[in-house]
């Protein structure tokens, strides 16, 4: 299956700072998603982005499919942005392969 | 539209028992996938069902099984529970229109503890 590598594993930010999370894939993907896992374990959809760039408020994401990576940008971070961020991808078999996650801590 | 629902939310079982978890997808979604999340292995794909047929399967032993009903609701079963089966089990649904890819939406999960 597809191997997914996320970096960095941990990120500590001061409130108001900007940050970039990265996701590398071992193979081409048809489906690429970014999630935020809430404290109760639910995966909240942030972006469905097999290619291109999308923005949603202070969050944006870019996927360069030809180079097999995706970036998640958090701007003007807030304490509510804290948590674990996952990227996941699937090829033609629709099985989502997840990265190990990036734990983001935003300090007031 | 209601989201993906999973029942029960929490479960405590004893080693050797079996357990059945339930997932109701978003209305209109016919694809249901199951994932296991553990601290050691992270999030791993278990299986996917579409129109009552298992379409994809991950690398889990035969103790893990599932099924899907005609209304797209799905159940997964784990027999002869082991301590290592303690995990958060997540269900996801998708509207598969026949395109090459589709977005998956996750439920709140069932947290299983095996003692």
CA distance B99 to B28: 16
By DSSP bridging, strand A69-74 and strand B87-94 are: unpaired
**Is the CB of A88 inside 8 Å of chain B's CB atoms?**
yes
Q: How confident is the model at residue B100 (pLDDT cuts 50, 70, 90)?
A: low
Residues of chain B positioned with their CB less than 8 A from the CB of A98: 35, 42-44
Q: Do A41 and B88 touch (CB under 8 A)?
A: yes
Output the average pLDDT for chain B.
Answer: 94
The first and second tokens of residue B37, run together, are 């999340």
State chain A's mean pLDDT as an integer: 95
Kindly tell me the burial class for residue B66, based on how many C-beta atoms sit within 10 Å of its own C-beta (0-12, 13-18, 19 or more).
Answer: buried
- At residue A91, the pLDDT reads 86
The per-residue pLDDT for B91 is: 97
Chain A residues whose beta carbon lies within 8 Å of the beta carbon of residue B108: 40-42
pLDDT-wise least confident of A85-99, B22-36, B90-104: B90-104
pLDDT digits (tens, 9 = 90+) for B20-53: 999 999 999 999 999 999 999 999 999 999 999 9
pLDDT value at residue A93: 74
Q: What is the pLDDT of residue B101?
A: 64
Q: Which residues contact residue B9 at a Cβ distance below 8 angstroms, ignoring those fewer than 6 apart?
A: B108, B109, B110, B111
Contact B2, B107 (CB under 8 A): no
Q: Which of B45, B106, B108 sits opposite A95 (nearest CB)?
A: B45
CB-CB neighbors (< 8 A) of A99 in chain B: 42
Six token digits for residue B15 = 């080693």
Mean of the pLDDT values across residues A10-28?
A: 97
A85 touches chain B (CB under 8 A): no
Mean pLDDT of the B94-99 span: 76
Mean pLDDT value across residues A58-84: 97
Q: With bands split at pLDDT 50, 70 and 90, how would you rate the model's confidence at A92?
A: confident
B46: closest chain A residue by CA: A95
DSSP-derived letter for residue B108 is -
Supply the pLDDT for residue B98. Answer: 67
- Using a CB-CB distance cutoff of 8 angstroms, which residues of chain A are in contact with residue B31? 94
Mean pLDDT of B11-19: 98
Q: Is A48 on the interface with B (CB under 8 A)?
A: yes
Q: Residue A94: is its pLDDT beyond 90?
A: no
* Chain B residues with beta carbon closer than 8 angstroms to that of A46: none
Mean pLDDT of B71-93: 97
Q: Is the pLDDT of residue B99 over 70?
A: no
CA A28 to chain centre: 17
Q: Please indicate whether, in this complex, the C-beta atoms of A41 and B90 are within 8 angstroms of each other.
A: yes
In A, residues 25-44, which contact B (CB 8 Å cutoff)? Answer: 29-31, 33, 35, 40-43
Question: Which has the closest alpha carbon to B112: B31, B35, B57, B48?
Answer: B35
């Amino acid at each position: 299956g597809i191997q997914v590598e996320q970096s960095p594993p941990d990120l500590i930010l001061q409130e108001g700072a900007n940050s970039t999370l990265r996701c590398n894939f071992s193979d081409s993907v048809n489906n690429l998603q970014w999630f935020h896992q809430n404290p109760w374990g639910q995966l909240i959809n942030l972006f469905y982005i097999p290619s291109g760039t999308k923005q949603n408020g202070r969050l944006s994401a870019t996927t360069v499919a030809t180079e097999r990576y995706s970036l998640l940008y958090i701007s003007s971070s807030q304490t509510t942005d804290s948590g674990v961020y996952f990227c996941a991808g699937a090829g033609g078999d629709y099985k989502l392969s997840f990265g190990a996650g990036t734990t983001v801590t935003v300090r007031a | 539209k209601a989201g993906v629902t999973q029942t029960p939310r929490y479960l405590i079982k004893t080693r050797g028992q079996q357990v059945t978890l339930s997932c109701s997808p978003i209305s209109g979604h016919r694809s249901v996938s199951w994932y296991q999340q553990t601290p050691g292995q992270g999030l791993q794909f278990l299986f996917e069902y579409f129109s009552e047929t298992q379409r994809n399967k991950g690398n889990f032993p035969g103790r893990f099984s599932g099924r899907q009903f005609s209304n797209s609701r799905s159940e997964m079963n784990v027999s002869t529970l082991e301590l290592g089966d303690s995990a958060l089990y997540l269900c996801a649904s998708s509207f598969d229109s026949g395109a090459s890819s589709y977005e998956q939406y996750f439920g709140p999960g069932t947290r299983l503890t095996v003692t």
